[in-house]
Amino acid sequence: MSELSPLIVDLAIILVVASACSLLFKWLKQPVVLAYIVAGIISTFIIPQHGAEHENIETWAEIGIIFLLFGLGLEFSFKKLMKVGATAFISTIFVVVSMIGLGYLTGLSFGWSHLSSLFLGAMLCMSSTMIIIKVFEDLHLTKKNFAGIVLGMLIIEDLVAVLLMVLLSTIGVSRQFQGTEMLVSLFKLTAFLLFWFVLGTFLIPTVLRTMKRFLNDETLLIMALAFCMGMVYLATKAGFSAALGAFIMGSILAETLDAERIDKMIMPIKNFFGAIFFVSVGMMIQLSSLGDNIVPILIISVVVIVGQMIFATVGILLAGQNLQTAVSAGFSLTQIGEFSYIIAGLGMSLGVIENSLYQIIVSASVLTIFATPYMMKLSTPVYGFLERTLPEKWQKYLNRDISIARPVNQKTVWKSFLKKMLMRSLLYTLLCVIIIYFSLELGSPYLQLWLPGWKGNALAAIVILGLISPFLRAIIIQQDHSVEFLHLWKTNKVYRGHLLFTIILRILISCALIMYVLLRLFHTNLVIALSLALILLFLFMASRHLQRHTQRLERRFTNNFNEKEAFEASQKPVTQGFANHLLERDLHLSEFVIEPNYSIIGKTLKELKFRQLFGVNIVTIVRGDIRINIPNGDERIYPNDRIVVFGTDKQIDLFEQRIEEKKQKYAEYERKPVQDVVLQQLEIEADSPLAGKNLRTSHIQDDYDLMVIGIERNNTSLLNPGLDLEFEQGDILWIIGEIANINRLRELCK
């Protein structure tokens, strides 16, 4: 009899132990991530830590990292990064830089090397997205104002973690910090991200729309996984990690209309392989070494909790939020996140950190995760203490309103124009540089093999210039017809010189790109290259065909990029601008779905008095396809209504408690166990009280909740008998209903 493969045996052991531990931790109301780590520790006593079995686990763990990062990418979205606002960006950068520095100094104080200390700092600056979201849900904090800031910070942290992985890989390979090499690596990363983001945004939504009628759940899942693994392969070929490729593809798919559908289908796969990854993390822990490392574990746990608590609070205050929001958000980020395990594994694979550091960081992570719910609950009394002890002047300064309305003048219009022009010019220039680089390094040598000499170079030049021509045209005239440009040109002659300078600068950039191609392929002199570049640019500007082609490309990219946002905006009760306006004033919007058993069902807003009792205002009621904006007092609340309210955190908390009160009968009524409906026979005997009656006079349906669907009489069957058909002795009734009610009717007949 053939034996099972060790791979299957190891997987069976992991799943059995992980399922038992997850049930235990669910009962203890602890995060399931900790259960998987504990399962990994237990599995070390069963699965050998060396040989083929351990390599199998490493393979499963690598697949787990890929799907974890793919899932995070689906939740990330570059659009979210642009919308998190200055508060999340400023506070995240402050926290990351501060925690890396604090971790670096902590590592040096233990006598560790500079490289190990740097890796330690990178591990300590990442909070856990998975844990924070889970605790927010458990403690009902997801609708709080500070929760939105924390989630925005986590989005930026995810991107920072990916960047750190690339930079630390470069440092780990060279074993030293080289500024030039780091800049080259950073440029390569930026180019890789930009190229695939633009190409993916241009192609993938179009492909999904075109194939929509063929994409059932199974086909869409396979296609999404194909996109993911394809990008993983390309990322590794480009010298980056598989995790980066998975994250990029997840971020691209996050901008499509099918993102939520893909995320739901990927969730079981991500949970499965993610569990194996966290089990593998636990398997790396050596219990025998914990005693020797107990002091560093405790110190690093304290450093993370205190450091994140202080730096996050200060960072959010520096970003302009009030003291209560800053304290609540700061106390939420006091744990070591999942990316820290990945960075630790990266350090071990590169041989730049010791195994003991891995043991310390994972053990400290477990302690900080356990402490997370308690730290969140501690934020309220800490804020109360600060409110009582801080001087009134300090409190006024910390709670100041930074939202100052500024009039729109020509300086702000100029800044708006300059910002848009620089962003678009930089984007198109980088795209041209990427196309030129790959064409000259990969395409041109291939053409020389097929068509050697000047002919091959001429063909390469035509192809390269043809590919970059739409982008060169966009660089030069993209913003010259914008509202800002026309406003500045007409209203103030002073700005005309500035505007002309930007046009000349963009022409020079475009000329430089064309000249570089010509000089590389033909080795001509600068005067000829410049003359040819100017002639080509003039032809590009004059070409109506190229103009239409450029507009078509931009329109498709813009539509694909904004497709999901436009759809979501059409479904939202209020605009994002209105939501941001409220956030600046410590007010925020929350949406509630009215369940059928809420006690407010059927009542008017005038009767409920939400504004008078809780201070909240009902902005919109969404009822199916109907949207009622600013409803009046006579509007009633119906089941499954979506109501959008705005107010402070405290007001919305009180409102939520009120609407979720169940009707009294639901609170006192103990629901009966659900009984199945069965089909049984009942014979009419001579002395049966049903003899001589019909369906109408017997009240079988009214009194017993039963239905007679057929009668057998004299070897014939009568289906769906009429209401006036009388029952006779010997009839056999076919009855449908609950078994208890059928038994009651039998007792009556006996």
**The pLDDT of residue 477:** 75
719 and 616 within one domain:
no
Shared domain for 192 and 119, answered yes or no, is yes
Using the predicted structure, report yes or no on whether residue 585 has a pLDDT greater than 50: no
Region for 720 from its dihedrals, namely left if φ exceeds 0, alpha if ψ lies in -120 to 50, beta otherwise: left
**What pLDDT score does 467 carry?**
85
Q: Are 34 and 366 in contact (CB under 8 A)?
A: yes
Non-local (6+) Cβ contacts of 27 within 8 A are: none
Residues 37 and 284: their CA atoms lie apart, in Å, by: 9
For residue 486, what pLDDT band results from cuts at 50, 70 and 90?
low
pLDDT in tens, 84-131: 566 778 888 898 889 999 999 998 898 888 888 888 888 888 887 767
The parent domain of residue 433 ranges over 410-566
Residue 84 in domain: yes
pLDDT digits over 518-544, tens only?
888 887 778 888 888 888 888 888 888
Q: Letter for the amino acid at 601?
A: I
CB of 738 closer than 8 Å to CB of 682:
no
Cβ atoms within 10 A of the Cβ of 731, count? Answer: 21
| pLDDT(205) > 60 | yes
CA dihedral (306, 310, 313, 314) in degrees, to 10, reads: -170
Please report the pLDDT score of residue 329 as a whole number: 87
Lowest mean pLDDT among 475-484, 510-519, 591-600, 634-643: 475-484
pLDDT above 90: percentage of residues in the chain: 3
Q: Is residue 398 part of a domain?
A: no
The CATH number given to whatever domain includes residue 241 is 1.20.1530.20
Among 682, 709, 136, smallest CA distance to 379 is for 136
Q: What is the mean pLDDT of residues 350-370?
A: 81
* Residue 128 contacts residue 332 (beta carbons within 8 Å): no
- The answer to whether 530 and 511 are in contact (CB under 8 A) is yes
Q: Domain end: 643, 668, 693, which one?
A: 668
Lowest mean pLDDT among 123-132, 138-147, 567-576, 726-735: 567-576
Residue 405 lies in a domain: no
Helix crossing, 242-253 with 217-237: angle to 10°?
A: 140
Mean pLDDT of 218-236: 88
Domain final position from 627, 648, 668? 668
How far is the C-alpha of 60 from the C-alpha of 51, rounded, in Å?
15
Q: Are both 610 and 685 inside the same structural domain?
A: no
User: Is the Cα torsion angle 114, 115, 119, 125 positive or negative in sign?
Assistant: positive
Query: Which residue would you say has higher pLDDT here, 479 or 338?
Result: 338
Residue 399: inside a domain: no
Most confident of 101-105, 391-395, 571-575, 741-745: 101-105
Q: How confident is the model at residue 137 (pLDDT cuts 50, 70, 90)?
A: low
Q: 698 lies in a domain?
A: yes
Same domain, 467 and 591: no
- Please write down the HEC assignment for all residues of 19-40: HHHHHHHHHCCCCHHHHHHHHH
Least confident of 184-193, 360-369, 568-577: 568-577
User: Hey, what are 328's tokens?
Assistant: 């609540």
Confidence band (pLDDT; 50, 70, 90) for 406? very low
User: In sequence order, which ranges of 175-286 are alpha helices (DSSP H)?
Assistant: 179-210, 217-237, 242-253, 259-283
Are 719 and 661 part of one and the same domain? no
User: Which of 613, 646, 668 lies at the terminal end of a domain, its last residue?
Assistant: 668
Residues 23 and 168 in one domain: yes
User: Among 542, 546, 421, 531, which residue's Cα sits nearest to residue 471?
Assistant: 546
Higher pLDDT, 20 or 271: 20
Amino acid 134: pLDDT: 67
Read off the pLDDT of each residue in 715-720 and give the average, rounded to a whole number: 79
What mean pLDDT comes out for the span 370-378?
84
Regarding whether 500 and 421 lie in a shared domain, the answer is yes
Is 289 a residue whose pLDDT tops 80? no
Number of structural domains, the chain?
4
The whole-number pLDDT of residue 20 equals: 92
Q: Is residue 739 part of a domain?
A: yes
* 576 is a domain residue: no
| Residue 393 predicted with pLDDT over 70 | yes
pLDDT in tens, 719-729: 778 878 888 88
* CATH code of 693's domain: 3.30.70.1450
- 315 and 228 co-located in one domain: yes
Q: Say what the pTM is.
A: 0.63
Beta bridge partners of 717: 712
- Given a cut of 70, whether residue 340 has pLDDT beyond it is yes
Same domain for 97 and 189: yes
Sheet-wide strand order for 626-629: 588-593, 642-647, 617-623, 626-629
Same domain, 593 and 557: no
Across residues 187-210, what is the average pLDDT? 78
Bridge partners, residue 621, by sequence = 628, 643
Q: Which token pair is 673?
A: 């166990």
> Which stretches of 44-128 are DSSP H helices?
52-76, 78-83, 85-109, 114-124
Question: Is 400 contained in some domain?
Answer: no
In the block, residue with structure tokens 């006579």 = 634
What is the rounded distance in angstroms from the CA atom of residue 715 to the CA atom of residue 710?
Answer: 13
pLDDT of residue 51: 53
Most confident stretch, 108-112, 276-280, 487-491, 549-553: 108-112
Give the number of other Cβ atoms within 10 Å of residue 473's Cβ. 21
Q: Are residues 115 and 171 in the same domain?
A: yes
C-alpha torsion sign, points 136, 137, 139, 144: positive
Q: Tell how many helices (H) and how many strands (E) occur in the chain.
A: 33, 8
Q: Are residues 503 and 637 in the same domain?
A: no
Q: Are 316 and 326 in contact (CB under 8 A)?
A: yes
Q: Quick count: other Cβ atoms within 10 Å of Cβ 30? A: 16
Average pLDDT, the chain: 77
